[in-house]
Amino acid sequence: MLAAAQSSGAGFAAVQTVKADITCLLDLISQLNGSREKALSLDAFFLKAAALAVQKLSLSSAGFSFAVFGGGEKEQPVVAGAESLSLSRISAQIGELTEKALSHTLSSKETVPAAFGVCDMSSFGVYAFTPVLRSGEAGIFGLAAPEDALVLEDGQVTVHKTAVVCLRYDARVLSEAQAAQLLSAMKSLLQTPMEILL
């Protein structure tokens, strides 16, 4: 079993974690969806942010996988060229691919392993977790459920939403410094969500 894990890259997996203030992100999604016929998903923002973070570090990824859970199984369909797609298109593709994943009708082209992936567990109420790194992946970002945090602003205590964001990565592909830079870029984008829209 250990040999199998190592041959798949799991034996070389490492993880780094940060806590991001996603108050502005959640507010922005709420505002945008208030005037839209088709809502933008949190998954779309998370996937686009991950793609932009990878692009900022000049790392290459032909597509980004995202986790779909159903019937006790996990599928990871791929959105190609996410860094250059609009959030509307990413959200639509996530919806279409999720339906296919749940009905087990994904094509082999739609499940080709990507260099990077995302796994959003926020809807499950999970506050911290380590995503599974698939064979062939350089890294996978994980998003946990938001928690209330008291923040002192201009002498006033306000409630913000924070969430744990992690990056599990193959230490043979990314160094600790590269992983830290990647996670820092991801955190910055999630905390300044207008940059994801541009």
Please report, for the chain, the start and end positions of each structural domain, with discontinuous segments joined by +. 13-193
Per-residue confidence (pLDDT) for residue 106, from 0 to 100: 94
Per-residue confidence (pLDDT) for residue 153, from 0 to 100: 86
Q: What is the pTM of this model?
A: 0.90
CB count within 10 Å of CB 190 equals 24
Per-residue confidence (pLDDT) for residue 88, from 0 to 100: 95
Per-residue confidence (pLDDT) for residue 10, from 0 to 100: 58
Residues in the chain where the model's pLDDT stays below 50: 1-8
The Cα–Cα gap between 85 and 39 comes to 16
For tokens 């998370």, the residue is 46
Give residue-wise pLDDT tens across range 167-188.
999 999 999 999 999 999 999 9
Expressed in angstroms, the distance from the first to the final Cα of the chain is: 46
Of the candidates 47, 145, 122, which has an alpha carbon nearest to the alpha carbon of residue 92?
47
* CA dihedral angle for residue 12, residue 42, residue 162, residue 15, rounded to 10 degrees: 0
The Cα–Cα gap between 101 and 57 comes to 31
CATH superfamily label, 13-193: Chloramphenicol acetyltransferase-like domain (3.30.559.10)
Give residue 182's identity as a one-letter amino acid code: L
Structure tokens at 32: 């945008």
The Cα–Cα gap between 164 and 169 comes to 16
Residue 42 near residue 22, CB atoms below 8 Å: no
Per-residue confidence (pLDDT) for residue 7, from 0 to 100: 42
- Alpha helices per DSSP H over the chain: 2-7, 23-33, 42-56, 87-102, 176-191, 194-197
